[in-house]
Chains A and B, each alone.
Chain A
Amino acid sequence: MKFVSGFLGVCYDLVVGDCWQIAAAVVLLVVGGIALLRLDAIPLWLLPVAIAAAIMTVAPLIIVIETRAGMRRMGD
């Protein structure tokens, strides 16, 4: 049991690291993209660009917000 939890912990550190918000945002955007695809809500040629643009907007925003929040916590 200890080995399994240790292994999962290493995998988590390896992939997600210390900013879980980015991982959560990526998963949400992927799910959102799949929903758009299933609902046929967006032309298929536009979907790749729209998903990429969404990821490239949200991820840096999270980095900035999370870093500012981290510095505020350090200052408290």
Chain B
Amino acid sequence: MLSVDAIGLITAVFVAAAVEVVEAFTIVLAMGITRGWRSALTGTLAAILTLAVVAAVLGVALRDFVNPALLQLLVGTLLLIFGLQWVRKAVLRSAGLKALHDETEIFAEELAEARAAHSRRRFGIDGFGFIVSFKGVLLEGLEVVFIVVTFGLGAAHRGLPNAMLIASLGAVAAAAAVVAAGVVMRRPLAMVPENTMKYAVGLMLSSFGVFWVVEGMGFFSPLGKSLEWPGGIWALVCIFFAWLVVSRITVLALRPLATHGAPLPVSTTETGP
């Protein structure tokens, strides 16, 4: 039976990873259709193997060689900066200052680019299809690895057994669900409420970031141990809702600007949220 902490961890990683996998899936689907499935899937497999090595090395190195409180501070700071990047883009989208992420449009652009590209084959594999699939899965996957490692380490520090394994399972489940849905539909998963999910994930990442940054500051206290939040783990819920309120106020502050300028176009090359 999974504990509340484990369910929270697996859900958080699942939602965050699903958003990234949807984007990677769009790229691989476009390459598979235009440049051949052999090239697209080989590129995908190569990227997954690279990501597995990065996750293993990063996870073990951080877990075994860094003081737990200092690790919380480092991971919390990175997570907070990373999460605020998501919140910033979500706020800009909500305020009408940035174009909404549109998988169908991105898919059409990827298809057009792939059809126009020259073909150079080696060992029966199309170079363009391989490289674009590899790069797409690697870049989106790095964000998933970052989330799995940070969330896993944070939960392990709170005493959750097998936290890294649980976090990894959340990511694998998200990948399986997205790929299964994509295979059935045979088109980009445009009906996934990606923009809302990205907003929620940004708030979640920023909340965990603030929570761990403060706890990790205890490394510099006379005892050298993590600080305690008033209310313990429940403080995390308060932080999440505080971020939600603050971000909505920011949207309201920015909305008048949207009437003065056109929204930015959708970017197919951006690696962030």
What residues of chain A have their CB less than 8 Å away from a CB belonging to chain B?
10, 13-19, 22-23, 26-27, 30, 33-34, 37-38, 44-45, 47-49, 51-52, 55-56, 59-60, 63-64, 67-68, 71, 74-75
Contacts and interface: CB of A to CB of B under 8 A. Distances in A.
Given A27-B77, A30-B217, A37-B217, 13 more contacts: A13-B272, A15-B78, A19-B88, A22-B81, A26-B80, A26-B81, A37-B218, A47-B214, A48-B214, A48-B229, A55-B210, A63-B91, A63-B92
Given A15-B78, A64-B254, A56 B243 contact: yes
A56 B249 CA distance: 11
Interface in B222-239: 227, 229-230, 235, 239
A13 to B, nearest CB: 5
Contacts, number: 105
A48 B143 contact: no
A52 B81 contact: no
Interface residues of B, number: 42
A63 B213 CA distance: 21
A68 to B, nearest CB: 7
Nearest to A56: B246
Nearest to B138: A10
Nearest to A29: B213
A17 B237 CA distance: 26
B67 to A, nearest CB: 14
24 contacts: A13-B272, A22-B84, A26-B81, A26-B84, A30-B73, A30-B217, A33-B214, A37-B217, A37-B220, A37-B221, A44-B221, A47-B214, A47-B217, A47-B227, A48-B229, A51-B213, A51-B214, A52-B210, A52-B214, A52-B239, A59-B87, A63-B250, A71-B97, A71-B260
